[in-house]
Amino acid sequence: MAIYQNDLVYIEIEESEIPWLKIFTRTPYKELSEAPHEVKTEIWRLLDIIEKEMLAFYKPDKINIASFGNYLPHLHMHIMARFRDDSFFPEPMWGKQQREGSYRLKDFDRFCADLVKKL
């Protein structure tokens, strides 16, 4: 489900124990280098806003930004707020679970609603 979209990109929620959003290009480019300059600029603009808002709202230990697309060869970026007490930290969210985490996601709907106003 998209929480934000424009002519170039859309943003989806990744269901998770942590705050995690994904930015997709509307046109399914396989690689970042294939995307036109205006699309790349829009991705970086949104990444910057989302990262700053996650830092301010959640005060995480680290922000992770990733682009893989091995299973889904459609250009997209993951933005995740990471916490020392999430289940996978310090491993990536795709890595091996380290423990039963004690971090509990709070107010994500409110965070998303506030974020959309700033996009």
DSSP 49-91: HHHHHHHHHH--SEEEEE---SSS-S-EEEEEEE-TTSSSTTS
Which residue segment(s) compose the domain that 102 sits in? 2-118
Joined together, the tokens standing for residue 41 give 């600029």
Residues whose CB is less than 8 angstroms from the CB of residue 21 and which lie 6 or more positions away in sequence, other chains included = 3, 11, 12, 13, 14, 50, 78, 79, 112
Q: What pTM, to 2 d.p., does this model score?
A: 0.94
Determine which of 12-26, 36-50, 65-79, 100-114 has the lowest per-residue pLDDT on average. Answer: 65-79
Tally of structural domains, the chain: 1
Q: What is the pLDDT of residue 52?
A: 98
CATH code: domain of residue 72: 3.30.428.10
Confidence band for 39, pLDDT divided at 50, 70 and 90? very high
